[in-house]
Structure 1
Amino acid sequence: MIPQSFVTYRSGRHVRRWFAPIGRRLFGTLVRVETTEPLVALTFDDGPHPVFTPQILDLCEQYQLRATFFLLGQHAVDQRDLVTRMVAAGHAIGNHTFSHIRMPQTRRWQRWRELWQTQQVLAPYRLRLFRPPYGGQSYGSRFDALLFGYEVVGWTFHIEDWIAQPASQLAARLVDQVRPGSIILLHDRLANPRDPQAADRTSLVSALAMALPELQRTYRFVTVPELIRAGTPVRVPWFRPAL
């Protein structure tokens, strides 16, 4: 006779295995994509910015690449022409809240309002992507994003572009870390810069101008939705306070 405890253990393990993929799909955060193709996704947070976002869009046009922009509603209100330009050029846009709140530390009704306000600002574009400001996420805020129908997008790596650095250093860090399927965190604007000098995105724009010609010998830059379709999305538990 098989002990009941063994049956319970085996059945419980089976249930966990069955539910694990569903749980990752519903509550996991996208961090990269497993793909054999040389594809990567550049993502930009906190914009649009009236000066630096157009410069980045110009680089995207020059190198014929598509990116993903996670926009703040309060900035998109004043830069609607830039949002239109992004979409017309084939870039993807996502929700980054209205005012760059810390999701885990914010009450639910305020989180809903921030997500809803940004959706309204960016209408008629249908938003499927969300990135929590500061990368902060709790179980509650992740559930809110699920209710809004969002794919929550984290990142594979960043280059600490919120700290003032020489363009050459930013470019080198970018080139050294890229791998197929990477989702790269960058900022075309800094919502709440800790380093006032870093608010000037000139170094980042120059770093991209340095790195892109080299990277394009190997990689093709696509939007996050395009990257997802090109391979197997890797979603992980991503629950941490906003830094």
Structure 2
Amino acid sequence: MEENNGTRSSRHLQKPKNNLGKNVFTLLSILLVVLFGFFAYTFYQMKQAEAKAQKTFEQKTTALLQEVQEERNQSGIPSEKTEKKTDDLVTVTYIPKEDKVFSVQDSQKELAALTQKAKKSLKNKKGLVVAKLEVNPVSDQLDTYELVAEPYTWYKEKNRFIRGKVFTNTPAYISHKTGKAVTVKDLIPEEGDLLGIQQVIQQKIFDQAKNKAAIIDSILDLPRINYQNKIDFTPNELTINLAQNKTGINKITLDYKDIAAYVNTDFVNPEKIKDAFPQLDSNKKYVALTFDDGPNPATTPKILDILKNKKASATFFMLGENVSANKDIVKRVVAEGHEVASHSYTHPVLPSLSDAALKKEIRDTDKAIFEACGILPRNLRPPYGAADERVARVAGKPIINWDVDSEDWKSKNAGMIQGRIKTSLTENAIVLMHDIQPATVEALPGVIDNMRQQGFEFVSVDTLLKKQQKPMYVYFGAEDYRLAKDL
């Protein structure tokens, strides 16, 4: 009986264990059901969110494409539209029809290449790519034609597209007048323009040089640019590949503001030439006093004293041999705000010289003036005013003559000098005098006073000509100039 009781007791004790197991199983089942429900609900919620996000993406895509289509309609560019869609990427291409710049075949090929670049930039993110031809006005006479691919990355957290880097081909610049692409010859139409740009290049290399004295010969001997040079231009700047030379510079980029006198400004961004030229008051009268043959230690300082006292500016056309012997005077001329220019080295009749001798006269004078004051002279006055087309070409500088001749070298009389200038003076005149003549020193105060009484203001040749003078031309006054070949 005891044994049986023990057995019954054991069995009685095992029942809770079975119940506990059942309870655990039940709890686990419930937990699994709850978890399954939770995950199912979460998955449903995620799917709902994804669907909502996709719908938002599609709505925003539609809206953006409508904006693009409206812009295309307003552009007036006939195009054939193609569109490709996936859940993550929409690609729209507008292939221009019968474009006068890019052929349909070339446009299609180029736009496809640009589109691939734009797609890569999205880095597998949701987005939109629009490929098209853009035509943008630069000036009244110039448009830019450019094939572009614009990538737009979709930012879900912001619910909007953000445009990335735009991929473009090499643009074409189209003249309104001809309907054709602008060429280098259209932009730089004359030989004199090339020579003028040459001067600017030399000056820029000179200005950028750390050791100017060491590089001056290389600059003066720089091969001249021509239409065979590789010249790349945009409406904003000009880049020229230089021939082999000893300056260490093989390519140079120029601002249009520095070369405005030498380019067809119809093909330039107007902002890039703003304030390029001195502005003279149309209600005022101007005159440019010029002095030849100096500097002379006995007379030039006296001329400078008078100009300083009278607050008048002038231009000094200097002989190279006199510059070399009187560097301090040259420095004073520059320091007091006057213009320095070339009058050859030894005062020969330039048309009588060989090309080599003529070039040496100009080069030696440029170097002498540089060594005296650190300036490369822009303008040339040929001795006796003698110049022709060959002289102008070899010299490579604007030729500055005169329309009022004081004949101080001839009369050597102060009263006659004053009288001759007074009777022949006109507005915007260039007046010829010589700072080596004692009679000119005596006459100058009266000359200046008389001009002021007539309402004249004194400016340099550069200012009088508004810095628009260029090589291959001869200037007698601001309104009297002609090509050297027409002399």
Range class of TM-score, shorter chain: 0.7 to 0.9
Query: Could you say which structure has the larger radius of gyration?
Result: 2
What code does the residue aligned with 1:53 have?
Answer: T
Matched residue type, 1:203: A
Which of 281, 298, 301 does residue 54 from structure 1 map onto? 301
> For residue 235 of structure 1, what is the amino acid of its counterpart?
Y
Kindly tell me: are residues 36 and 107 of structure 1, through their superposed partners in 2, closer, same or farther at Cα, counting changes over 3 Å?
A: farther
SS in 1 for 2:313: coil
> 1:43 pairs with 284, 290, 309, which one?
290
Equivalents in 2 of 1:49, 1:169: separation in Å?
22
* Dislocated runs of 4+, deviation >2 Å: 22-27, 230-234, 237-241
> Could you say which residue in structure 2 is the equivalent of 1:135?
385
Distance 1:219 1:24 in 2: 35
Deviation sequence 1:192-221 (CA, Å, 0-9, x none): xxxxxxxxx222111112221121121111
How far has the Cα of 1:101 moved from its partner?
1.3
User: In 1, distance between residues paired with 2:416 and 2:426?
Assistant: 18
* TM-superposed deviation, 1:69: 0.4
Q: Are positions 1:159 and 2:416 aligned together? A: no
Query: Hey, what does 1:16 align to over in structure 2?
Result: none
Note the 1:1-243 alignment, pairs <5 A: 37-123=284-370, 124-146=374-396, 150-189=397-436, 201-217=437-453, 218-229=455-466, 233-238=479-484
Give secondary structure in 1 for the equivalent of 2:321: helix
The residue aligned with 2:261 is none
Give the direction of change, closer, same or farther, for the CA distance of 1:104–1:86 in structure 2 (3 Å limit): same
SS of the residue corresponding to residue 411 of structure 2 reads coil
Structure with greater strand percent? 2
- Percent identity over paired residues: 28
Paired AA for residue 46 in structure 1: D
User: Aligned partners of 1:36, 1:175: CA distance in 2, in Å?
Assistant: 21
Give the conservation status (yes or no) of the 8 Å contact 1:66–1:221.
yes
Aligned length: 202
The offset of 1:56, in angstroms, is 0.6
Assess if the C-alpha contact under 8 Å between 1:24 and 1:237 holds in 2: no
Query: Runs of 5+ in structure 2 lacking a partner?
Result: 1-185, 196-279, 469-477
TM-score, length-scaled by structure 1: 0.76
Q: Contact 1:37–1:230 (CA<8 Å) still a contact in 2?
A: no
Deviations 1:7-32, CA, capped at 9 Å, x for gaps:
xxxxxxxxxxxx9xx669669xxxxx
Distance 2:408 2:484 in 1: 21
Matched AA of 1:54: P
Partners of 2:192 and 2:425 in 1: CA distance: 25
1:170 Cα deviation (Å)?
1.0
> Does the Cα contact within 8 Å between 1:38 and 1:220 map onto a contact in 2?
yes
Contact 1:159 1:173 in 2 (8 A): yes
More deviation, 86-95/166-175 = 166-175
| Residue 238 (structure 1) shift | 4.8
Residues 152-173 of structure 1 show CA distances to partners (whole Å, capped at 9, x for unaligned) of 1011120211113431111111
Q: 1:25 to 1:88 in 2, by over 3 A?
A: same
Structure 1 CA distance for aligned equivalents of residues 395 and 398 of structure 2: 8
Is contact 1:130-1:153 (8 Å) kept? yes
Structure of higher RCO (CA pairs closer than 8 Å, 6+ residues apart): 1
SS at match of 1:77: helix
Q: Deviations over 1:54-98 (max 9, x none)?
A: 111011001101100000000000110010000011100111111
TM-score (norm 2): 0.39
Q: Does the 8 Å CA contact 1:44/1:187 hold for their aligned counterparts? A: yes
Aligned twin of 1:194: none
